[in-house]
Amino acid sequence: MVKRIGTSRRKTRHLFRKNYRSRGKLSVVRYLQEFSIGDKVALTLEPSVHEGMYFRRFHGRIGTVIGKRGSCYEVEIRDGKKKKIVITHPVHLKKV
């Protein structure tokens, strides 16, 4: 088999690009936002923060918060017919 070269961020130049109006320093409120279990959240990746990133396939999905693991949250999403758990930092989440 062919060995894949690169990391989970390969081929994401256009997918993770920010709008030119939203560039600049991030607000601290995005880092410190809290979610409770059962909240609906959208996975919107913040490309300037590399900690707690999820895989690019889940970008733009909507899921429910099912728990907290350290400073990150466990979000359950559907990938086809399967349910998957994504562990991500709150800076990459947006309440729906």
What tens-digit pLDDT sequence spans the chain (96 residues)?
Answer: 888 888 888 888 999 998 899 898 989 999 999 999 999 999 999 999 999 999 999 999 999 999 999 999 999 999 999 999 999 999 999 999
**Which 3 state secondary structure label does DSSP give 15?**
coil
pLDDT score recorded for residue 1 = 83
**Residue 33 CB neighbours (<10 A):** 15
- Residue burial 52-69, b: 16+ Cβ < 10 Å; e: rest: bbbeeebbebebebeeee
Return the domain boundaries, the chain: 33-95
pLDDT score recorded for residue 60 = 94
Q: What is the pTM of this model?
A: 0.88
The CATH number given to 33-95 is 2.30.30.70
pLDDT score recorded for residue 6 = 87
CA distance linking residue 43 with residue 47, whole number of Å: 12
